[in-house]
Structure 1
Amino acid sequence: MFPGKRIPAIRRLAGAIALGLGLAGSLLTPAAAHAEGQVRIAEQFGIVYLLLNVVRDQQLIEKHGKEQGLDIKVDWTQLSGGAAVNDALLAGTIDIAGAGIGPLLTVWDRTHGRQNVKGVASLGNFPYYLLSNNPKVKTIADFGDKDRIAVPAVGVSIQSRFLQYAAAKQWGDKYYNRLDKYTVALPHPEATSALTSGSTELTGHFSNPPFQNQALESPNVHVVLDTYELLGPNSPTVLYATEKFRKENPKTYRAFVDALAEAADFAQKDKGAAAETYIRVTGAKIGKDALLKIIDNDKFEFSVTPKNTYPLAEFLHRVGALKNKPASWQDYFFPDPRLAEGS
């Protein structure tokens, strides 16, 4: 994918992508407040955003808005990496952000007492894999100066935070960011191609489904770290918003959460139909049977209730990545009866 260019090309590509995202963000609706009845949603790449695909495909926000006597205009945009998503949210160009729990905790901490960004809901529970095409890399301790690990956003993405959590377990909290210097920002599709081609210095990719599963079809790619083994079943990807949006748009906010809950029920009960929706909406080049092999198991749970997020929050405060310590997961999620069993 990057013949003869090696890792500088990866960095240039990542920079170009970031620049493109910034330009795209500047073309979105200005930061001025808008009336109830409009919501702008940012999603990223992968099956972990399937609930949003269902919401979009079945026009569930519009449906639940009409039940409240409201015609809701929904705008969708796709970004890559929690940093870009957080920037867009704080700039006022999106209303609902889709990213990892790591980026949520970062922006919750930075806006504490001001914009008060908090979680709206989870998108489900899924294992993420750290992959490598370097046969010498069996554990995270084997990564060295010649290795590069792709993540959606360096330092703040959920993949970066998982890597830091693993490093702290390996070497102690003082060295939690020991592997950050090996990471580069690259969207999952490009990182998957680079890893499987083996033509660059990219030897690692902290991925998500279905990209991690597609990469593992290559005989040269193997799993170095499974986040379920690291933390147990957890909700890696969530949706969040500002307190201002929630307060000023109560009907729109309610319609969104109702829509998401309906999508979660649909996807969990009929994973076959959910797989068809994902392929149809995203145009992903993966067959239904192959996709079902990924999602139709006990490790995949589509649910709006966040699960096992607090250990990461506690860790990030302990190592100084968060200034404010949440007393519980409820500090960084808006109250909602559908999230009552969260953690």
Structure 2
Amino acid sequence: MALSIKTLAASLGISLLASSFLAPNLAHAEGEIRIAEQFGIVYLLLNVVRDQQLIEKHGKEEGIDIKVDWTQLSGGAAINDALLSGSIDIAGAGVGPLLTIWDRTHGRQNIKAVASLGNFPYYLVSNNPHVKTIADITDKDRIAVPAVGVSVQSRFLQYAAAKQWGNKEFNRLDKYTLALPHPDATAALIAGGTELSGHFSNPPFQDQALKNPNVHVVLDSYDLLGPNSPTVLFATEKFRNDNPKTYKAFTEALAEAAEFAQHDKGAAADTYIRVTKANIDRDELLKIIDNPQYEFTVTPKNTYPLAEFMYRIGAIKHKPESWKDYFFQDAKPLQGS
């Protein structure tokens, strides 16, 4: 199926960006940072940082020249593996992968979040007219997620299942999920004719899919948790401690990018198209990111309910007392939740 889906993606003009692991480098001097992102508008702050060379700018203010390396991966499992192997310094992924790796490295590498990338609703969409709610999903359906059981989309689906059938049934729908990058899944859903009938997506891919009259929303993450920050950036405690100037330049760059994106949506849209080379109409993109439900901010919002849920079902062993347990508290502490 994977080959045919990639062919569909190409024919539909949906951007597929190549990604590769950087060679592991477990230690490096101050003045180098390696960042891994994934697909979608939720990574727009990183697009702005990259386009405007904001890390380099703030590095010079700290008196250092910073070399920035960028790579693109798909799925929280791949992102977490890259961070643990030392291939990257900053990981971009959902709150689900963050909590998994925070729990796994508790008392050792002490990986925590650096910042949120904003607040965005994620939709579970389907081209199966019989699937109106998650209760209608059967063994005839297959749902694409970035990483099975680990991605924030998978955790949202488990949260919804627990709400529907009780905590013991949290993984009831896992058997219907498969790992696929967002561009590939979107192309398959739009075209139809494959085993894939659903996709727990993110913007702009969910919006592109919904332009097809055969595709509809089954579940909205905001209906589950309210407005929340689904995607974050995280790092090891060692990188933060050993590279204070580089780390500070990165956080200052993110904050500047958030201000830019939130207050100039047109320029933000241009940046996304320019950096990602996405084949999307500018007016369509601007309409998506101008949605009042979207907020570009480094401050995390409403992440703790998912953390508490993951502890309750045994997905993590350490129970965070608050969101501050899995977010670094820097010189300018975040005021989040």
TM bin, normalised by shorter chain, reads: over 0.9
CA distance in 2, matches of 1:297, 1:156: 28
* Of 158, 163, 183, the match for 2:157: 163
TM-score (norm 2): 0.94
CA distance in 2, matches of 1:338, 1:295: 27
Superposed, 1:1-343 pairs within 5 Å as 24-25=20-21, 28-336=22-330, 338-343=332-337
Q: CA deviation at 1:297?
A: 2.2
Q: CA deviation at 1:336?
A: 2.5
Q: Which secondary structure does the structure 1 equivalent of 2:268 belong to? A: helix
Q: CA deviation at 1:120?
A: 0.2
Q: CA deviation at 1:58?
A: 0.1
Report if aligned partners of 1:2, 1:200 keep a CA contact under 8 Å in 2.
Answer: no
Q: Which secondary structure does the structure 1 equivalent of 2:294 belong to? A: coil
CA distance in 1, matches of 2:229, 2:197: 26
TM-score (norm 1): 0.93
Q: Which secondary structure does the structure 2 equivalent of 1:104 belong to? A: helix
Query: Quick one: which amino acid aligns to residue 91 of structure 1?
Result: S
> Residues 311 and 2 from structure 1, CA distance in 2 versus in 1: closer, same or farther, beyond 3 angstroms?
closer
**Structure 2 unaligned residues grouped into runs of 5+:** 6-15
For residues 121-174 of structure 1, the C-alpha deviation after alignment (integer angstroms, 9 at most, x for no partner) is 000000000000000000001000111000000000000000000000000000
CA distance in 1, matches of 2:317, 2:207: 36
Query: Quick one: which amino acid aligns to residue 261 of structure 1?
Result: A
Q: Which secondary structure does the structure 2 equivalent of 1:202 belong to? A: coil
Identity %: 77
**Structure 1 unaligned residues grouped into runs of 5+:** 7-16
In the TM superposition, structure 1's runs of 4+ consecutive aligned residues that sit over 2 Å from their partners are 29-32, 336-340
Q: CA deviation at 1:31?
A: 3.1
> Residues 224 and 337 from structure 1, CA distance in 2 versus in 1: closer, same or farther, beyond 3 angstroms?
farther
CA distance in 1, matches of 2:197, 2:329: 42
Q: CA deviation at 1:337?
A: 5.1
Report if aligned partners of 1:42, 1:76 keep a CA contact under 8 Å in 2.
Answer: yes
CA distance in 2, matches of 1:145, 1:339: 46
After superposition, the CA RMSD in angstroms is: 1.6
Q: CA deviation at 1:341?
A: 1.5
How many residues get paired? 326
Report if aligned partners of 1:121, 1:339 keep a CA contact under 8 Å in 2.
Answer: no
Q: CA deviation at 1:30?
A: 2.4
Query: Quick one: which amino acid aligns to residue 239 of structure 1?
Result: L
CA distance in 1, matches of 2:172, 2:81: 26
Q: CA deviation at 1:32?
A: 2.6
Q: CA deviation at 1:257?
A: 0.2
